[in-house]
């Protein structure tokens, strides 16, 4: 399949990570994905911790959802007009997960949602500058594909070819969790900043977390300087907890995605009525999308989130699964973890800041990854990218996983 696919698809895939570039193996073309299991088109079976990159929190093909979806499809796929599940899902999200916001707009991806959130901040403030943080990922947005250069707030470095210096001239990437640089930057440029966008947990950077002090400093500085604080919760929403991570800090805008759609593509910009109504059709900030609020994505999102809400202690259960892994894997393998995600890596000590990333032993990770795959386990194919635990990872699956991890470690150590 790979040979055939790469004739028409770049590298045989539609997203680079699916080509396993670090591990240097062929892409896996999945035939079936049920619960925690995958079967590929060569009939190889795996237990997977990719979980749709976090999108399927119940595990794939959850029977109740599949049955309801089949019924729903009898009523059609897409008319192009509005549907009641847009409202029902919006109500559920605002009332039960983001009560510190009031309205939302559904879009199709985290990239689109962050783009619109930043446009909204620029529309309201009339300013241009955007602050992001090194190691943060906010999607495939030209002017956010930037890391800081060596000179202070100076030369920003595009992290992709095709991103022109002109496009990124209003973006600044600052070191994550660095209070001094943050304060210095705000005292020099605070009144030029439209928005600061931050992941409370950097999900593509070893799950490094923002310190509570860093987040409260961000809230304070953005408020005092009249600029927006945007929490990018695309990867963490409905994964770490039902209620958003901003409940104490109360960002001006929250961006959500992934688990929100139960595996279907959807994301949202969530904020106050005052800000959201700057968008068309009430206000004059342009945003539109053929598939925005798609009836199947909103239907499945509503069913999945309603089901999660009805399961007592759902997030405690997810957390206990991650805790089990953390407690039982051999200490030679390091683990960074949150309530619903974990990263495995090799290093002589735990890494808690981007400054220490260079102590990571990538070659050992590649050996470990390949050996574990031979044992029928698929992990996220890069140590910085998390694995996602879902409801279908039963105690038995987790025991098998830990046993295989420890066995593989003892073999590759020899
Ligand atoms: C924190 C964060 N923001 C934004 C995005 C982009 O989302 P999408 O791939 O749906 O465009 C991602 C994707 O992994 C993400 O992890």
Using one digit for the tens of pLDDT, what is the confidence trace for 69-91? 999 999 999 999 999 999 999 99
Tell me the sheet residues that pair with 196.
131, 229
Report the phi/psi class of residue 35: left, alpha or beta, with left for phi > 0 and alpha for psi in -120 to 50: left
Helix (H) or strand (E) holding 196, with range, is strand 193-198
CA of 111 to the centre of ligand 1 (A): 6
Residues 224-238 have pLDDT tens digits of 999 999 999 999 999
The answer to whether the pTM exceeds 0.85 is: yes
- Tell how far CA 143 is from the center of its chain: 19
Cα 148 from Cα 128, distance rounded (Å): 18
How is residue 313 written in tokens? Answer: 């202690």
pLDDT of residue 169: 87
pLDDT value for 413: 78
**Is 199 near ligand 1, meaning CB less than 6 Å away?**
yes
Identify the bridge partners of residue 148 per DSSP, sorted by sequence position.
156
Would you say 106 and 86 are in contact if contact means Cβ atoms under 8 Å apart?
A: yes
Decide if 77 is inside a domain. no
349 within a domain of the structure (yes/no): no
- The answer to whether the CB of 380 is under 6 A from ligand 1 is no
Q: Rounded CA gap, 196 and 173, in Å?
A: 10
225: left (phi over 0), alpha (psi -120 to 50) or beta: alpha
245 located within any domain: yes
pLDDT in the model for residue 412: 87
| Domain span at 218 | 84-309
The answer to the question of residue 374 being in a domain is no
Report pLDDT for 167.
Answer: 83
| Residue 109 Cβ contacting ligand 1 at under 6 Å | yes
**Domain CATH for 168:** 3.40.640.10
Give the position, in ligand 1's atom list, of the atom nearest the Cα of 110.
7
5 assigned to some structural domain = no
Kindly state whether residue 375 falls inside one of the protein's structural domains: no
Counted domains in the chain: 1
The predicted structure's pLDDT at residue 3: 94
Find the helix or strand (DSSP H, E) in which 69 lies.
helix 63-73
- Specify the pLDDT at position 155: 63
Note whether residue 28 is domain-resident. no
- Identify the pLDDT of residue 401: 98
List, for the chain, all residue ranges whose pLDDT scores fall below the cut of 50.
none
- Mutating to test ligand 1, I would choose from 13, 132, 233, 257 the residue with most ligand atoms within 8 A of its C-beta, which is 257
Q: Coil, helix or strand for 123?
A: helix
How many helices, marked H, and strands, marked E, lie in the chain?
11, 18
* Inter-CA distances, 402 with 11, 16, 306, 372, 375, Å: 32, 28, 31, 11, 12
222 assigned to some structural domain: yes
């Amino acid at each position: 399949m790979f040979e055939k696919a790469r004739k028409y698809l770049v590298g045989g895939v539609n997203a680079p990570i699916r080509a396993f570039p670090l591990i240097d193996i062929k892409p896996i073309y999945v035939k079936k994905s049920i619960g925690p299991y995958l079967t590929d088109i060569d009939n190889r079976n795996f237990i997977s911790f990719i979980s749709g990159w976090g999108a399927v929190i119940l595990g794939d093909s959850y029977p109740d959802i599949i049955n309801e979806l089949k019924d729903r499809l009898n009523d059609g796929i897409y008319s192009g007009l509005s549907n009641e599940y847009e409202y029902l899902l919006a109500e559920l999200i605002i009332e039960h997960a983001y009560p510190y916001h009031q309205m939302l707009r559904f879009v199709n991806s985290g990239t689109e949602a962050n783009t619109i959130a930043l446009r909204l901040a620029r529309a309201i403030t009339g300013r241009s500058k955007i602050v992001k943080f090194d190691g943060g990922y906010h999607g495939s947005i030209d002017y956010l594909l930037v890391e800081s250069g060596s000179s202070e707030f100076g030369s920003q470095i595009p992290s992709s070819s095709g991103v022109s210096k002109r496009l990124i001239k209003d973006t600044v990437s600052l070191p994550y969790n660095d209070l001094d640089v943050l304060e210095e930057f705000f005292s020099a440029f605070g009144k030029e900043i439209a928005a600061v966008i931050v992941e409370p947990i950097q999900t593509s950077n070893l799950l490094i977390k923002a310190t509570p002090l860093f987040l409260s400093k961000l809230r304070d500085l953005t408020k005092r300087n009249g600029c927006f604080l945007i929490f990018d919760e695309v990867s963490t929403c409905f994964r770490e907890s039902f209620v958003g991570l901003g409940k104490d800090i109360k960002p001006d805008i929250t961006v959500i995605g992934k688990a929100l759609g139960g595996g279907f593509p959807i994301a949202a910009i969530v904020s106050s009525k005052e800000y959201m109504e700057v968008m068309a059709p009430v206000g004059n900030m342009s945003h539109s999308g053929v598939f925005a609020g798609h009836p199947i994505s909103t239907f499945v999102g509503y069913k999945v989130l309603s089901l999660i809400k009805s399961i007592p202690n759902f997030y405690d259960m997810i957390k206990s699964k991650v805790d089990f892994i953390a407690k039982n894997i051999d200490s030679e393998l390091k683990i960074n973890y949150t309530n619903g995600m974990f990263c495995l890596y090799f290093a002589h000590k735990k890494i808690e800041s981007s400054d220490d990333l260079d102590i990571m032993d990538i070659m050992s990770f590649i050996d470990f990854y390949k050996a574990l795959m031979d044992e029928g386990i698929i992990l996220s194919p890069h140590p910085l990218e998390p694995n996602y635990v879902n409801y279908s990872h039963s105690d038995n699956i987790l025991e098998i996983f830990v046993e295989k991890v420890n066995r593989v470690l003892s073999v590759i150590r020899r």
